[in-house]
Amino acid sequence: MMAPLLGVAMIVGLAIGIFQAVSSIHEQTLTFLPKVFAVLGMFLFCLPWMLRIMTSYTVNLLGDWQNTVSSPYQ
């Protein structure tokens, strides 16, 4: 579930690193702030999908509770 967020952070970090190497600008906030905004934007974009996956997982886990915790030696 976190792969899209990590992928965006990696791509933005790589692009900014290349830009810094080409332009010789080495400012710390130049790398931090764009990554934060890109990851936040991707999080908001993926939030409905993440909530749907987590809700489905929780409903299936709690709905099948008897089989999950029951002993096979009954």
Nearest-angstrom CA–CA distance, 19 and 26: 10
Residue 33 has pLDDT above 70, yes or no: yes
Q: Is 11 helix (H, G, I), strand (E, B) or coil?
A: helix
Question: The pTM is what?
Answer: 0.72
The pLDDT value recorded for residue 74 is 60
Q: Which of the 8 DSSP states describes residue 64?
A: T
The pLDDT value recorded for residue 71 is 64
Residue 70 has pLDDT above 90, yes or no: no
